[in-house]
Amino acid sequence: MLTHRFRLPRGLRRAALAGLASVQLFGCTAMIRAGQAPSERPVRVQGSSPIALVPPIFDISAGTVVGGHAPNPERRYTLVHEWGNTLVLDPNEFNHAIRDELRTLGYTVATAGFAPHGLQPTVTKIVYNVFGSDARAGWSEAEVTVRWQVLGQAPFTLETRGSSTAQQHSLASIFQAYRIALRNFLANPQFASAVSPTGRPPTTVQGGAPAIEPLPVTTPVSITPATPTVSTPIVPTTTNAPRQRLKRPASSTRKLDSTTASQRSRGSVVTVLVGDAWGSGIVLSEFLIATQASLVQSGNVIVVSSAGKQLEARVLRADTASDVALLEVTGGKLEPLGLDLAPASTGSPVIALGTPFHPGLSFSVSPGRIVTGTQNNVDTDARISAGNAGGPIIDEYGRAIGMVVWSAGDAAESGTARGISAGALFRALGLGYADADPP
């Protein structure tokens, strides 16, 4: 999960309430300003012994000021970012960059069993600043320092850093800075020598083999519907009685805060990969997933769970009028998400959960409120991007009240989460709950 929240610390909140429009963080500008660390040229190899990726850890004290927001060129910060409070990152997001880089450079990443070598990254410092009056006119900068520990037959430790900037107020600058720090590490020939094939029996690596399969997408592209070429034809459904009844998943009986709701729902949201395009999906049962039909019109469909499990999927059926599709996965079971099939209430808080800009930024959370809720549609003010297509709109009980449907002709980089209601989604796909009347 990725959460990106801004909140004034107590002292600054008091100052704001006293009428101060901005706060000058005297003595802190140099500390939280990202430095520059040019990337070195990584070493390329032709194969290696399998390398297990141990999940990254963060060696940063909770409450540490890691950056701020300055709407002016003088770097007068109106908000600050505190690690573990207003800025929280999922370690698994960083593993995607490691897999991509290692595989691109010719290294072998272990996917199962034991491996003779392991790589344990520890993030020791993060700097993240955003500038400008809003996300459209602003930009962000980041600096990441990482201590890399190579485990196995030739262990060693090396610390590197990387800096990056990104357009708009985007966490992408953090992940790009991390990737640059990784490239600086991979420029050291000692790593290539340490993981070269030795012919010796493999040994157990601390942390075991990685639980996340590599993602095949590395370059962001927009979702571009193409002529259907899937082997299984997309068959429009009807709005008659449900042809398939599902067991209703358990859901909370009390209201949840956005963090808890997203944490509980994350395991039931997947990233949907189709060639060079991607979107999101809602797990309805152990083997069924709902997503946007125009995303899966052509090419082989792969879904990636929040745990990193990569599964093949096929289009079971779809409704072209509402642009929704039902996928069936093979090779594994998923955790279903409960849906509220009743019309949503205007003004209620919601979160949009999905993969907005890149598979490496999967399961991002965007909070908002319902602007309009009807029997067939849900309109919110939560900010999303095209990659959220097919993802859920979740209420304060952790249930999906709708699914994002992104307009294929919309060239904008972002917009608000709107789409089909959960009840209309079930009707379009011919589904129903076993313990309920038809939606």
pLDDT at residue 408, rounded to an integer: 57
Which one has a higher pLDDT value, 6 or 284?
284
pLDDT at residue 120, rounded to an integer: 86
Q: Hey, what long-range contacts does 257-263 have (CB within 8 A, 24 or more apart)? A: 258/349, 258/351, 258/365, 258/367, 258/396, 259/3, 260/398, 261/351, 261/394, 261/395, 261/396, 261/397, 261/398, 262/1, 262/3, 262/351, 262/353, 262/365, 262/394, 263/1
pLDDT(21) > 60: no
- Token pair belonging to 218: 């590395």
- Per domain, the residue ranges of the chain are 3-194, 244-433
pLDDT at residue 237, rounded to an integer: 45
CATH number belonging to domain 3-194:
3.40.50
pLDDT at residue 283, rounded to an integer: 96
pLDDT at residue 87, rounded to an integer: 84
Which one has a higher pLDDT value, 127 or 299?
127
Highest mean pLDDT among 189-193, 280-284, 355-359, 434-438: 280-284
pLDDT(126) > 70: yes
| The CATH number of domain 244-433, selected from 3.40.190.10, 2.40.10.120, 1.10.760.10, 1.10.3720.10 | 2.40.10.120
Which one has a higher pLDDT value, 378 or 198?
378
pLDDT band at 399 (very low <50, low <70, confident <90, very high): very high
What are the counts of helices (DSSP H) followed by strands (DSSP E) for the chain? 7, 23
Which one has a higher pLDDT value, 135 or 127?
127
φ/ψ of residue 131, rounded to 5:
-135, 155
Q: Which pLDDT tens digit goes with each residue over 253-292?
A: 899 888 788 888 888 999 898 877 788 999 999 999 999 9
Averaged pLDDT for residues 110-134: 81
pLDDT at residue 71, rounded to an integer: 76
Which one has a higher pLDDT value, 151 or 391?
391
387 neighbors 354 (Cβ within 8 angstroms): yes
Element (H, E) at 119: strand 117-131
Q: Which pLDDT tens digit goes with each residue over 138-182?
A: 788 888 999 998 887 778 899 998 888 877 777 888 888 898 899
Averaged pLDDT for residues 331-355: 89
pLDDT(226) > 50: no
pLDDT(221) > 50: no
pLDDT at residue 141, rounded to an integer: 86
